[in-house]
Amino acid sequence: MNSFECLTRRCLAGVFWLMGLVPLPPSSQLCSLLLSLAIRCCWIVYLVYLLSIGIGFWSVATESVGNVVGTMLFMGSTILGLLLLLESVLKQKTHRQLEDLRFQSQLQLQRLGRFGRGRQAAYLLPLIGTQFACDLVRVLISAEVGTMISPVFLVSLPLMWLLRLRYVQLVQHVMDLNHRSLQLRRSLLALAAGNDLWQPYGVQEWAQLQTLRKTYQRIFECYEVLSDCYGWGMLGLHLATSFEFVTNAYWMITGLYEEQNLLILTFNGATAVDFGTPIATLSWYGDAGAENFGGWLCWYTAIWALTVHRATRTEDCDLDCVLRYVLLVCETGSHAIIVTNTFLQQDDYDSLECCDPVVSVTVVGLLVPILGAQYLVCSNLDKFSERVISYYWKTLPSFLGLQFQIIAFIAQVMYVNLRVRLARRQLQALARELACSWPQSKLQAMYLDHQTARLVDLKRRYNELYHLYSRINERYGGSLLIIFIVFFAGFVCNAYWLFIDLRTTPSRLYPILQNLGFIVNVALQMSAACWHCQQSYNLGREIGCLISKLVKPLGSRRYNHLVSEFSLQTLHQRFVVTAKDFFSLNLHLLSSMFAAVVTYLVILIQFMFAERSANAYSG
């Protein structure tokens, strides 16, 4: 395995050197310097040639929006390639500084006996393989369709690989620094594991702690220098990739309405995956993530292809049809992912069971609107169209599964919140007791020992509660990310269908109630989840504020140090529930989502009026 990792690193280093993504060698290595300059000159000639092609397209770019967007994207990517080559030359000093800091951190970790290279081949090779597979699909489709897709696709492939390999280079650097941070964390845990509270450190432990501090400083400087060395390139890559993703989404929508050609749609989808996987991987490892996002992305790619294939086979395909099929596949795929994740985490699920009357009443209160809406629909099936009934039965199991999952999450958060409230009340009682006058003489030492023991117990309980929230994040984080995305899309679509039903003459009562029931259920569940998570955060802050009342100037030094340590613990261990660190669940998220619903609803309504105008014009 070590030889395979070494071979992968050497191959990637050679590829980066051929692409001109590494700094120039020193002047002492004359042959390597001349060869590197020759390679960069070849790249510059190639990029200038692409610029001349892009300038030639400006004469026909104004014929359509697609031509304008494609020409801007092509010119922007070419200029970005030139800037990346320029950055690799101008940042030579910063790159040498980064290598020096990495070497120093490596020496520090070796002193701790913790340094070892992390495994990168298992993550980088699938990333590169995904891009190769997408390019192969695009080449085959381009050979089949011809110049209908892009007249500059083949000639711009080297440029696309230049940009994507810079992403791979950044991911490699970030993975290496994350591995060093992980080794530092393990060393710190090993040092802390053998020392009880208030036990003085020996000379050896003090030296090891100093080494840890210096190692942390070197790793922190590595991150700073890495941002300085590749910062402008990362900014340009992010902008270009975002524009690439948006333009391909636009071409997929226009292709769905005009040509309805599955090959063209697949080509644009493969392009989006081609550029989406590197930026998603970089963002994931940049946030110190440890999950495999590529599998999810491939899963959703397959789902999207099936959706488009089914929608394009329908003769009367319209906006309503597309929305229903997309929601059908998204809900079904999300349900499958959640079921798989639940099966894989079965051991963890068995250890967080809870039962409380307040939680039970809340769960029943959330189930009543769900069952009421389902009864309303099932008792009036003859009032709906055949397409709506078919869509309803296909999505019912998955939709109920997603709702039950978020209700289970709310129950878990409520149970932990009840334990946090109990700890807060005990902390308030301790603060009230300490507010009174302290006993004098011999009783003071016994009183201090008793209060210190209570404070240590509360501190340990706070740590247990923090780990409970961490386990909730691990268990439900991926599910919450999927559920909130699907619920947001469903909320927008049902609000759009509700708008259409309200404008229909004569009014259709039961379809209106069906869409309204879905909106109420989704809004209620998302609001309950965000509100209880906001309560978790607020309770943690209240505990942090109460600790300041525990400091006693007349108390012992040990007691006041314990209070300070508890205060630092509440500062760094916040009760925050996140969806795999993509966003935190709180009331601010809820307000942002409801504000975004209005924006997307206006966009769908504009699509509806444009479609009706086009149908009226063609008729």
pLDDT digits (tens, 9 = 90+) for 511-558: 777 778 788 888 888 888 888 889 888 888 888 888 877 766 555 677
* Confidence check: pLDDT of 261 > 70: no
Highest mean pLDDT (candidates 244-248, 353-357, 566-570): 566-570
At residue 43, the pLDDT reads 92
Q: How confident is the model at residue 41 (pLDDT cuts 50, 70, 90)?
A: very high
Which of 41-55, 71-85, 331-345 has the least mean pLDDT? Answer: 331-345
Question: 346 CB contacts (<8 Å, ≥6 apart)?
Answer: none
> 126: cis peptide before it, omega within 30°?
no
Which is higher by pLDDT, 45 or 290? 45
Task: Report the pLDDT averaged over residues 332-338.
Answer: 73
Q: Evaluate whether 236 touches 80 at the Cβ level (below 8 Å).
A: yes
What are 163's two structure tokens? 């940009």
415-419, 489-493, 532-536 — which is least confidently predicted?
489-493
Q: What is the 3-state secondary structure (H, E, C) of 36-57?
A: HHHHHHHHHHHHHHHHHHHHHH
Of 35-49, 308-322, 387-401, 473-487, the range with the lowest mean pLDDT is 308-322
Average pLDDT over residues 293-304: 35
The mean pLDDT value for 550-568 works out to: 73
Residue 308: pLDDT over 50: no
Q: How does residue 459 score in pLDDT terms, banded at 50, 70 and 90?
A: confident
Q: Long-range contacts of range 312-316, CB-CB < 8 Å, 24 or more positions apart?
A: 312/256, 312/260, 312/261, 312/262, 312/265
Using pLDDT thresholds of 50, 70 and 90, give the confidence band for residue 42. Answer: very high
- Out of 58-62, 501-505, 605-609, least confident range: 58-62
* Average pLDDT rounded to a whole number, residues 500-514: 72
Largest CA distance in the chain: 99
Cite the DSSP H helix spans in 60-120. 65-90, 92-112
Phi and psi, residue 578, nearest 5°? -125, 160
Q: Pick the residue with more confidence: 272 or 130?
A: 130
Residue 110 has pLDDT above 50, yes or no: yes
Residue 296 pLDDT greater than 70, yes or no: no
Give me the phi and psi of 397, to 5 degrees please: -60, -45
Among the listed ranges 34-43, 156-165, 594-603, which one has the minimum average pLDDT value?
Answer: 594-603
Residue 295's pLDDT is 35
CB atoms within 10 A of CB 440: 8
Helices then strands (H, E): number in the chain? 17, 0
What is the per-residue pLDDT for 60?
59
Distance CA 138, CA 4 (A): 30
Contact 83, 236 (CB under 8 A): yes
The token pair that represents 616 in the structure block: 């009226």
pLDDT at res. 45 = 92
HSE, side-chain direction, 13 A CA sphere, residue 381: 11
Token pair listed for 350: 């068995």
Q: For residue 611, with 0-12 CB atoms within 10 Å meaning exposed, 13-18 middle and 19 or more buried, which class applies?
A: middle
- The pLDDT value given to residue 96: 87
CA atoms within 13 A of residue 145's CA, in its CB half-sphere: 21
Min mean pLDDT across 108-122, 214-228, 352-366 is at 352-366
Cα separation, 451 vs 444, whole angstroms = 10
Enumerate the domain spans of the chain.
14-286, 330-618
pLDDT at 508 > cutoff 70: no
pLDDT for position 307: 42
- Lowest mean pLDDT, pick from 30-39, 349-358, 481-490: 349-358
* Of 140, 94, 87, the residue nearest 266 (C-alpha): 140
> How far apart are the C-alpha atoms of 186 and 205, rounded to whole Å?
15
* Amino acid (1-letter code) at residue 269: G
- 46 pLDDT tier (thresholds 50, 70, 90): very high
Decide which of 614 and 526 is more confident: 526
Q: If phi over 0 gives left and psi between -120 and 50 gives alpha, with beta otherwise, what is residue 272? A: alpha
pLDDT-wise least confident of 359-363, 407-411, 584-588: 359-363
pLDDT of residue 130: 85
Ramachandran category for residue 146: left, alpha or beta (phi over 0 → left; psi -120 to 50 → alpha): left
- What are 584's strand-pairing partners? 578
Q: How far is CA 302 from the centre of its chain?
A: 20
Q: Say which residues have a Cβ less than 8 Å from residue 144's Cβ, sequence separation at least 6.
A: 263
pLDDT of residue 366: 77
pLDDT of 138 > 70? The answer is yes
Q: How much is the average pLDDT of 549-578? A: 77
Please name every residue paired with 578 in a beta bridge, in sequence order, or none if there are none: 584
Closest among 80, 61, 258 to 151, alpha carbons compared? 61
Q: What is the model's pLDDT at position 118?
A: 67
* Distance, first Cα to last Cα, the chain: 67
**Is the pLDDT higher at 86 or at 359?**
86
Q: Which residue has the higher pLDDT, 166 or 244?
A: 166
- Tens of pLDDT, residues 376-406: 767 666 666 666 676 677 777 777 888 888 8
Token look-up 């009174």 returns 436
Please determine, for residue 339, whether its predicted confidence score (pLDDT) is greater than 70.
Answer: yes
pLDDT at residue 359 greater than cutoff 60: yes
Q: Which of 120-134, 170-184, 337-351, 599-613 has the lowest mean pLDDT?
A: 337-351
Higher pLDDT, 114 or 533: 533
